[in-house]
Amino acid sequence: MNAPVAPTPVLHFESVSRTFQQGGKQTVHALVEVSFGVHPQEIVAVIGPSGAGKTTLANIALGLDRPTGGTLRWGGDDVRGLRRGALRQAKRANRLVTQDPFGALHPGMTVFEVVSEPLRGSALDRAAWAPTVNSALESVGLDPSAYGRRYPHQLSGGQRQRVAVARATVGAPRLIVADEPTSMLDVSVRASINSLLRNIRDERAVGILLITHDLGIARYIADRVVVLDRGRVVESGPADQVFSQPEAPMTRALINAVL
């Protein structure tokens, strides 16, 4: 038997730093030489206290912000080397699921329009949009004939977040960044969104970067965990290992805070 070949990470931070200049003089080190990867069919949870750099990390992962140091790779490609067209195409393969499905969905768009939006400008022929959108809705447990023409205000919070997840999966996403995807949902609905994310991981060649302060979720669905503290990775490893034998004081503090 051949040894398994390690797949190329969909997202790779190589010693990535991000500094901000505040008020002219003061330098804020939001990220300091952060290194880790997210592979296809993997959920990597990033946990850390407020101000640790999680949002900065998410923005850089999606291409909404640029590192001030180090190298960011999407599917092996150094982002700095991508020309305009290739960059646009690469960004389209990155998707975001935010914590607020109410704010994320345009009120005047139907569910069908919301979910098909990432297909605009893609190579996919318009005739193929309906089957693609319908199967994305089915995969999140929403009957397309019942929900396709509805508006976001006609949906429950959990249904809206399902639509947001369907939108994140249409076409051929490479990376899904889920930024606190369940923090505004009722506890009863959270588990179903978590299992959706797990299904996506298991069934698609997509990698998921899960930004969360909910360690219960990270423990339940993440394969690996990266702990950020003041811009630095203070611990990383398989989720069961990090949670059962935390080494960094910050990891212990985060775990103790929820127990």
**Cβ contacts of residue 134 below 8 Å, gap of 6+?**
144, 148
> In the numeric block, which tokens belong to residue 112?
């069908």
Strands (E), 23-146: 26-38, 42-47, 69-74, 77-78, 94-97
Q: Which does 251 bind (CB under 5 to 8 A by kind): Mg ion, ligand ADP, none?
A: none
Q: Which does 53 bind (CB under 5 to 8 A by kind): ligand ADP, Mg ion, none?
A: ligand ADP
CB-closest chain residue to Mg ion = 55
Q: Are 20 and 33 in contact (CB under 8 A)?
A: no
Q: Which of residues 38-67 bind ligand ADP (CB under 6 A)?
A: 48, 50-56
Residue with structure tokens 């990155």?
94
Query: How near is the Cβ of 120 to ligand ADP at its closest, in Å?
Result: 29
Closer residue to Mg ion (CB): 164 or 170: 164
d(CA 122, CA 100): 26
Query: How near is the Cβ of 28 to ligand ADP at its closest, in Å?
Result: 4
Query: How near is the Cβ of 65 to ligand ADP at its closest, in Å?
Result: 8
Nearest Cα neighbor of 255 from 78, 149, 240, 56 is 240
Query: How near is the Cβ of 197 to ligand ADP at its closest, in Å?
Result: 20
Q: Which does 32 bind (CB under 5 to 8 A by kind): Mg ion, ligand ADP, none?
A: none
Closer residue to Mg ion (CB): 19 or 55: 55
Residue type, 170: V
37: left (phi over 0), alpha (psi -120 to 50) or beta: beta
d(CA 210, CA 197): 10
Closer residue to ligand ADP (CB): 30 or 210: 30
Strand partners, 188: none
**Cβ contacts of residue 205 below 8 Å, gap of 6+?**
40, 41, 174
Q: Which of residues 9-38 bind ligand ADP (CB under 6 A)?
A: 20, 22, 28, 30
Query: How near is the Cβ of 150 to ligand ADP at its closest, in Å?
Result: 33
Q: Are 44 and 225 in contact (CB under 8 A)?
A: yes
Closer residue to ligand ADP (CB): 2 or 50: 50
Q: Which does 26 bind (CB under 5 to 8 A by kind): ligand ADP, Mg ion, none?
A: none
Query: How near is the Cβ of 233 to ligand ADP at its closest, in Å?
Result: 13
Binding site residues, ligand ADP, CB under 6 A? 20, 22, 28, 30, 48, 50-56
